[in-house]
Every structure is written in structure tokens, then in C-alpha cells.
Amino acid sequence: MELNAADPSCEYRDAISTETFRSRKELCWGYEDNCVESSRFSRPRCPGSHKGYVKSKETQLETFYAQGDFGFVRDQVREMRIMCEPTFPHDSALECSKYLRFCRGRNIMMNFTDLATRNEPLRYKMDVLSQGQIGGHCKLHRERLENELEHISPLQSWGPELRFFETLPQPLTEGGHCDVTIERPAFIMKIDATINMYHHFCDFINLYMSQHANLSDPDGFSTDVEVLVWESYTYSSPFAEAFKVFTRHPIADLKTYAGQVVCFKNLVLPLLPRMIFGLYYNTPIISGCENSGLFQAFSEHVLHRLRIPLKSHTDRKLRITFLSRDTKFRRVLNEHDLLEEISEDERYLVNRVSYSYKMDFREQLRITRNTDIFIGMHGAGLTHLLFLPKWAALFELYHCEDTNCYKDLARLKGVRYLTWENDTLLYPEDEGHHPDGGGRHAKFTNYAFDKKEFARLVAVAAEHVWNHAEYEQFVERSRRKKEKQQQQKEGKEEL
């Protein structure tokens, strides 16, 4: 995160101005070579048993840290190997992690001249480049590069592009190669489905991890960077605001440079959204662990950059957000009855929302960040759990037989997860069938729920929030803030 003690809007202003903060120079994220465990940004929790998975509790913690925390970034950094080696300072250079999942380079050339004559839309294509259309003036370790070409798939590695890398006869700095030179640091992204929050935020969290992996750059979190999306479609998404966390410039695409030879002074090919054993999607998370510092840092980074405030309140009433679906399937048939049942409890403030494209994404985040219990059916909207407070609970009304998707994401974020427990009190509209045919499918129908059982599970979530130490501290901070404001108000009135 970019912290500026002189910025009056910075919510961490008081903390970072203290001598205690300035004196703790040993603090680290967890992937640095000299980072000791006691100085890490955070430490995950493993309250569940390790037996049947690993030999010890310590191994369980380290496994989770490597799979779902800053240990994942650490391992990418440790895997880095030079693929194209410079001889002189002005030469090109390229280095990558295993399977070419993350790469960075300098003075890299890409030849997009053929794209000017390609008429078909380009998305998830592995033939955007051909032999020699990517390269640099450096010593190419071809065998080393070819040994990493196992994951040739559009969203799994940069192998489809880097297999065509060739050595250029002279440095790019000598001119004659480039129609366009990108002076700013550039990130080229191969992105997942932009209409779906779950899939698109896989892009954003991998971009965030790549910024960490690239922290040899002292301005690694600067927004003065170029982002090029590796497709010919003009970028559009209900979640486009999230890109403002990473860049203050317009998002480019392959049309932007079609017909031109482009040279990148500093280039990052970030981690990809559908890597084999990647993070967030296809993540094999060990059982019994939770609370990834990486996911918490990502959440705070996004909320800080987009200036989404956490509002104070002292009444101890829980803010419950019920996410309603306007889709054909997975609607809650007795939604009104369920909300009426819990609204009778005066300790709850219940808010029904529909996070459709009609609602600004920042407004969605404002609601989510100030939610104590978030309730909704299985679906991409539950990805909002990433931006819940630390003490919050996610109640996935019914997982529709996809049991681990949001349960695992909640574990990574460190929020409490609940879902429906008694199938005899769950009433599907029908057995459900995929629109394209096939047998029974739980995701393609609608459901009603027993309202008393619903209220019971909400009460379980409420007890978790009320008893959470972070919630207690939040309420106390809110109380002190309110008292201070009242005293200041009274002082002004006396004057």
C-alpha cells in the first residue's frame, strides 16, 4: 500500500507517524530473503487438525503459507531464472519463474505488424505472435526456456508467447527496431471473464501478487504504469474501477498497437488467472487453516486506493447485507419471509441489495466494507467477501453442491463461513437441469428456505461477530471517536 503521512485523508496517518512505526524497519511481507517469521506482515491460523494431511502443526502452517499466503510469492521469486542474459547494461534481459508463469524483462521487442491484417477477434489466442516476433538483444538460453514449456494454455503461462523469443542482432537502444517505445513500466495481462466478479478478481489478485514479486523495482506499486490487455476487444467490465488501484492510465489492448513494432523499456508478464496450482483459482488449500495475510493485504490495498471508508458505529447493532439475485436461477423464492423473520430482531439492521451493473462498483464496496454479516446464494457476488471486515461472517445460503469455492475463499480472507446445514429444510423449485442439456444440476433451479432455521444460522453468525476481538476493538474505537467529536463540538459552542 502507498502510505503518505502528509495526506489528511490517509486513514493510517496517525499510525505511520508514530516513532514505533518508524523504528520497526525489520517488518517485512514474508517473501524477502532476510524476512524472519516473527517480522512477517501476518501469520495464518490453523485451528483445524493436521492429522491425515501432514506430520506436524508447523508443517501445516508452512504448507498453507506456501499455498495461499505470501509464501506463494516467495516461491515465485525463488524460482526466477534468467532466460535471456544481458552482456552490457543497455542490453535486453528476461527472467521467469517456473513454467513461465511470471516474467519480467527490459528492452523487450514485440512485433504486432501481422495483427493489422487479422480480422477475427483475438481472445484466448495462442498465435498472437509467431517466431521472432518477440525478442531482445541478449544471450538466449533456449534449452532452459524450452524446458519450461509444459503449461501451454492461454491463461496458464506465458509459454504460448515466449516460445517464439529470439535474439536480436543489435540493441534496441541503437534504434531502427521500434515504431513505438513504452517508457513507463508495463504490465501485459491475459485476463479471465470480465463480466464475472469471481473470475475477474482472479486477474486483480494475481496482478497484486506480481507487483510484490517485482519489488526489486522501488516504485513497484506506482500507478504510473501501462496496462495492456492481451486481446483485441476494448476492455469493459462492471468492475473496471478496480484497475484504478493499479494504473491511472487508460487500459490498452492489442488494437492499440496493431501494425506496429512495440518496444518495452520495463516489462512485467504477471501471474495468470488459471495457472495449474495457482492461487485463488485452482488453489489446493490444506485443510484446517485460514487467514492469509496476502488476501488481507490485497483487500486493504484495494479499499485504500479506492478510498472506501469504514464507518464508525457504537450501537452494536449488526449490519446484515442480503444479496438478492435478479437472475433466472439460484433465486430465493421466499426472500421476503426470510428478511422479515430476522428484521424482527432489533439487534440487526437488515439491508437487501442487488449488486447489478446498475450499481456503481465503489458503492457496492462501501456497502460490503460496512457489513458484519453478508448473506447470499452461491454465485460470483459472494466474491465481495474479500472486502468484509476481519470480524465479519459470510453466510452462503446454499452452495448448490459446489462446496469449497466460497468456503475456501472465506478461509483465505479469514472471515467466518456458514452455509445451510439441514437439507430437509431446503426446498428446491425442481431438481434443476443445465440449459444446454444433461442430468440434474443444483445450480440451475431456485430455492426456498425454512425461515426459523435461517434465523438460527444468522444468530450463529451474529454470535461470532459480537464475540470477535476485532469487533470489540472497532466498537471501542468508534465510541472514543464519538466522544472526541462531541467534546470538540461542545468546545466550539463555548467559544
Highest average pLDDT, of 46-50, 173-177, 363-367, comes from 363-367
How far is CA 372 from its chain centroid?
Answer: 21
Q: Are both 107 and 240 inside the same structural domain?
A: yes
The CA-atom distances, in angstroms, between 376 and each of 159, 322, 409, 420, 486 are 39, 6, 15, 11, 38
**pLDDT value of residue 217:** 66
User: In angstroms, rounded to a whole number, what is the distance separating the alpha carbons of residues 105 and 100?
Assistant: 12
Strand order in the sheet with 348-353: 348-353, 318-323, 373-376, 393-396, 416-419
Q: Are both 187 and 119 inside the same structural domain?
A: yes
In a domain, 454, yes or no: yes
Instruction: Give the dihedral sign, CA 304/280/58/461.
Output: positive
* Structural domain span for residue 433: 308-478
Least confident of 30-44, 241-255, 360-374: 30-44
Q: Are both 344 and 255 inside the same structural domain?
A: no
Q: Are both 252 and 312 inside the same structural domain?
A: no
Q: Give percent of the chain with pLDDT exceeding 70.
A: 94
Task: Find all residues with CB under 8 Å of 85, minimum gap 6, and list them.
Answer: 93, 138, 139, 141
Q: Are both 246 and 378 inside the same structural domain?
A: no
> Does 21 or 171 have the greater pLDDT score?
171
Q: b/e per residue, 404-422, with b = 16+ CB within 10 A?
A: ebbbbbbbbbbbbbbbbee
pLDDT bucket at 115, cuts 50 / 70 / 90: very high
User: In angstroms, rounded to a whole number, what is the distance separating the alpha carbons of residues 54 and 49?
Assistant: 10
Q: Are both 321 and 469 inside the same structural domain?
A: yes
3-state SS class at 269: strand
Cα dihedral value 256, 258, 261, 267, nearest 10: 50
**pLDDT value of residue 219:** 74
User: In angstroms, rounded to a whole number, what is the distance separating the alpha carbons of residues 168 and 148?
Assistant: 22
User: For the range 380-383, what are the long-range contacts, defined as Cβ-Cβ under 8 Å and sequence gap of 24 or more?
Assistant: 380/196, 380/197, 380/198, 380/199, 381/197, 381/323, 381/325, 381/355, 382/198, 382/323, 382/406, 382/409, 383/197, 383/198, 383/201, 383/409
> Does 178 or 15 have the greater pLDDT score?
178
> Considering the chain, what is the average pLDDT of its residues?
93
User: In angstroms, rounded to a whole number, what is the distance separating the alpha carbons of residues 122 and 270?
Assistant: 19
> Per the structure block, which three cell numbers stand in for 249?
492510465
> Per the structure block, which three cell numbers stand in for 434?
443445465
Asked if pLDDT for residue 16 goes beyond 80, the answer is no
Task: Find all residues with CB under 8 Å of 390, minimum gap 6, and list them.
Answer: 296, 414, 415, 468, 470
Q: Are both 344 and 258 inside the same structural domain?
A: no
State residue 263 phi and psi, 5-degree precision.
-115, 135
> Per the structure block, which three cell numbers stand in for 376?
447470499
Asked if pLDDT for residue 11 goes beyond 60, the answer is no
The CA-atom distances, in angstroms, between 444 and each of 24, 193, 306, 401 are 53, 20, 35, 11
In a domain, 97, yes or no: yes
User: In angstroms, rounded to a whole number, what is the distance separating the alpha carbons of residues 256 and 250?
Assistant: 11
The CA-atom distances, in angstroms, between 388 and each of 307, 366, 417 are 15, 10, 12
In a domain, 355, yes or no: yes
Asked if pLDDT for residue 1 goes beyond 50, the answer is no
Q: Are both 250 and 347 inside the same structural domain?
A: no
> Per the structure block, which three cell numbers stand in for 57?
502443526
292 close to 412: Cβ distance less than 8 angstroms: yes
Task: Express each pLDDT in 390-449 by its tens digit.
Answer: 999 999 999 999 999 999 999 999 999 999 999 999 999 998 888 877 778 899 999 999
**E strands present in 112-196:** 134-136, 139-140, 165-167, 180-189
In a domain, 284, yes or no: no
Task: Find all residues with CB under 8 Å of 301, minimum gap 6, and list them.
Answer: 1, 208, 245
**pLDDT value of residue 12:** 56
CA-nearest of 112, 106, 219, 83 to 173 is 106
**pLDDT value of residue 432:** 84
Q: Are both 336 and 466 inside the same structural domain?
A: yes
In a domain, 162, yes or no: yes
**pLDDT value of residue 175:** 77
Q: Give percent of the chain with pLDDT exceeding 90.
A: 83
To 10 degrees, what angle do helices 335-343 and 451-466 make?
Answer: 50
User: In angstroms, rounded to a whole number, what is the distance separating the alpha carbons of residues 159 and 152?
Assistant: 6
Q: What is the mean pLDDT of residues 224-229?
A: 98
Q: Are both 191 and 130 inside the same structural domain?
A: yes
User: In angstroms, rounded to a whole number, what is the distance separating the alpha carbons of residues 458 and 237?
Assistant: 33
Query: What is the count of structural domains for the chain?
Result: 2
User: In angstroms, rounded to a whole number, what is the distance separating the alpha carbons of residues 424 and 285?
Assistant: 30
In a domain, 103, yes or no: yes
- Identify the CATH number of the domain in which residue 408 sits: 3.40.50.720
In a domain, 490, yes or no: no
The CA-atom distances, in angstroms, between 30 and each of 62, 97, 275, 277, 402 are 12, 18, 22, 20, 32
294 close to 69: Cβ distance less than 8 angstroms: yes
Instruction: Give the dihedral sign, CA 386/387/390/393.
Output: negative
**pLDDT value of residue 232:** 97
Q: Are both 251 and 331 inside the same structural domain?
A: no
Q: Are both 261 and 314 inside the same structural domain?
A: no
In a domain, 63, yes or no: no
In the DSSP assignment, the letter for residue 266 is E
